[in-house]
Amino acid sequence: MKGNVIAQGKVQKVLKDFVFAELWTDRTEWAAENSKLLKQRFRSAALPLYATLSSDGVERSRLLGVATADEFVAFLRKGLDQTGTAPTSVQRALAEGRRVQKPVLLQFTGFTDLNSAYMAGTVLQNASVRQALAGFVVEELPVDSAGSEKGLVEYMKEKLRSLALPLYVTFGPDGSERSRLVGIASEREFLAFLERGRATAK
């Protein structure tokens, strides 16, 4: 795999977006620890095993055994995409971001959440914030009403690793997270959060 698949140009082109680590389970002083990690963390004894992890250690994709270069690239691209099996509204917003090549802002809010109501009625109504939001595909996602889309809370918990409200997350057109903000923020803090999402999505 390493010599005839991973070395191919199409694989290397995608691989450059990762921090790549090889963990040998034999022939090194770390073999015993790596074998233990394979069994306990990844629940597998299969070799070779390839796994992509988010920056906070959440597994995004996995590949076992021999694969073609195209299969390996697909595995890597899945690792770059944080959307996973996202609810329809999330997928729709991210698809629109890809189509128009704009960053995406997902706003996870609650009708009964006082902090969500405060942000909606103050900071998000500010003229400078509304102007900045024009550069995003914006999707508001209330999670606590009878009409809330199924799967939003699970998506927050499993993919975003947070259940805090309100939760604001920006994604680039490629589906990767750019910035996030939790709870109440000032106008300046919210604008800085949006700027991080916009600047890194170019």
Identify the band that residue 82 occupies on the pLDDT scale cut at 50, 70 and 90.
Answer: low
Question: Which pLDDT band holds residue 42 (cuts at 50, 70, 90)?
Answer: confident
The CB density around residue 2, as the number of other CB atoms within 10 Å, is 8
- Give Cα separations from 46 to 51, 77, 93 (angstroms): 12, 22, 37
- CATH 3.40.30.10 maps onto the chain at 2-80, 88-199
The fold of the 88-199 domain, in CATH, is Glutaredoxin (3.40.30)
Q: Given a cut of 80, is residue 85 above it in pLDDT?
A: no
> What percent of the chain shows pLDDT beyond 70?
95
- Amino acid 115 reads N
Superfamily of domain 2-80: Glutaredoxin (3.40.30.10)
Q: What is the pTM of this model?
A: 0.60
In whole angstroms, what is the distance from residue 197 CA to residue 172 CA? 7
The answer, yes or no, to whether residue 54 has pLDDT greater than 80, is no
Average pLDDT over residues 153-179: 89
